[in-house]
Each structure stands twice: as C-alpha cells, then as structure tokens.
Amino acid sequence: MNIIPVEAGPVFTIGYFVFDPSSADAIIIDTPLDSCNRFIELIDKYNAKLNAIILTHSHWDHTADLTKINKITKASVYIHKDDEYRILDPNNHTVFPLSQQLDSFSQSIYIAHRDKIKCGNLEFEVRHTPGHTEGGICLIEHNYGVIFAGDTLFCESIGRYDLPGGNGQQLLESIKRELMTLPDNFKVYSGHGEPTTIGYERINNPFLNGFITI
C-alpha cells in the first residue's frame, strides 16, 4: 500500500492518495482546496484506477475540490449521511467567509459504521466517530495497521468540538471506543499535522490521559 499525503489549502489540510500496487486501484481520502491538480497528477503517475473518493467529514477544507475531482475522474463519492448537508450547500457552512464560492455536490453514496470499502487487495473498515462533526468517520485498514482519522484524532490532540455539529464528550467517547481499542502499532494519518500511532497517543495525548478535560 502506497500512502501519499496531499497538503493543500489555507489551513494546511491533508488529503490522501492511497494506491494498491498489486491491482493499480486507488482511493482518495478527503479533497482539500487546491488539491485537484495534485491528485490528478498522482492518478496519471501511477496509471491508477480511482475506485472512490471518501470523505472523513464535510468541513469545507476537506471537501472544497470534491466536485472538480469527481467531474474529471467520475469516481464514486462516499460520505456518512449525517454529514452530507454541508456538501449540498457548502457556502453556508464555511464558518467564515471564503474568497471563492464552493461547488455543491449531491450524488453521494452513504457509508455507515462497520461498512467495508474495497480497493484492490485493500479493505477499509468504516468507523463512525462523531464529535468533531455529526457524521465524522475514520477508515481502518487492519492488515496494514493503518488508520485515516480525518479530524477525529491528531498527534497529541483531538479535533475541534466548538464548531457547529461538534460535541467534545461525544468525540472523546468515539476515540476511546473506536480507536483506542486498536493495537498500539496502528499508524494514524490525520487531516492536519504529522502521523502518529495509537500507542503514542495512549501515553502522550493530554485529552486522552486526563491532563486536559472537556
């Protein structure tokens, strides 16, 4: 499995190009503003078949280039139903005004807790992890010990819960129930910042070990 981060946009959001060399299948996880050209370059570089675009949640910085990439690739778009409303009307859910208008998207396929998404020989399990948003999800590839956490969990931090649809206690419960029950060596790729591991966060994350309370 090749994992290539694509950091883009004004708040340094990271989307991921995930490629299975054995089948040439690929997925994109999140579509930050100004990420489209880079993702298309990666598809061409690897001569990849893009199976899906999967959204960990629907905050604008993770979805801004969704429509552009979908129009070019025709790949199916997956999102939890509780988060779809933001991409249906993105310009009313940006929290602060942007200098450009965002394109809406209305052809999503819903994903739910414990669903499985195949990409060649890779299989991603969906875990519903509300708290940062209502329909936030994480993707887990158990065979490789990899988690794509969106804005649920960061290195030594957790996602914001003070934005519309956020809930701090719910977020902590989601992390402890769905992520901290995984093995320590599972690597976490987040929507911002450096990768981490479950074991490192179990010891060093101040939100999870009681140093910061919500």
Is 212 within a domain? no
**Residue 210 reports pLDDT greater than 90:** no
**Residue 196 reports pLDDT greater than 90:** yes
Asked if 9 and 35 count as a contact pair (C-beta separation under 8 A), the reply is: yes
Could you give the CA distance from residue 78 to residue 57 in angstroms, rounded to a whole number? 10
Q: Give, in order, the Cα–Cα distances in Å from 84 to each of 58, 152, 207.
A: 7, 17, 28
Mean pLDDT of 5-10: 97
Helix (H, G, I), strand (E, B) or coil at 81: helix
pLDDT band at 165 (very low <50, low <70, confident <90, very high): very high
Secondary structure tally for the chain: helices H, strands E: 6, 14
Is 214 within a domain? no
Q: Give, in order, the Cα–Cα distances in Å from 35 to each of 10, 16, 42, 168.
A: 11, 10, 11, 29
Q: pLDDT above 90 covers what percent of the chain?
A: 94
62 burial (CB, 10 Å; 0-12 / 13-18 / 19+) is: buried
Is 89 within a domain? yes
Could you give the CA distance from residue 34 to residue 19 in angstroms, rounded to a whole number? 21
Asked if 116 and 126 count as a contact pair (C-beta separation under 8 A), the reply is: yes
Please report which residue ranges of the chain form alpha helices under DSSP H.
36-46, 60-63, 66-73, 84-88, 168-174, 198-204
Is 198 within a domain? yes
The pTM assigned to this predicted structure is 0.96
Is 210 within a domain? no
Reported as a single tens digit per residue, the pLDDT across 48-88 is 999 999 999 999 999 999 999 999 999 999 999 999 999 99
Question: For the chain, how many structural domains are there in total?
Answer: 1
Residue with tokens 């419960």: 173
Q: What integer pLDDT is reported at residue 145 of this predicted model?
A: 98
Residue 73's domain comprises: 2-204
Q: What is the CATH number of the domain that holds 194?
A: 3.60.15.10
Give the tokens for residue 23. Answer: 């089948």
| pLDDT, averaged across the chain | 96
Is 189 within a domain? yes
Could you give the CA distance from residue 69 to residue 146 in angstroms, rounded to a whole number? 24
Please report which residue ranges of 89-204 form alpha helices under DSSP H.
168-174, 198-204
| Structure letter (DSSP) for residue 47 | T
Is 93 within a domain? yes
Q: What integer pLDDT is reported at residue 159 of this predicted model?
A: 98
Reported as a single tens digit per residue, the pLDDT across 85-99 is 999 999 999 987 788
Helix (H, G, I), strand (E, B) or coil at 37: helix
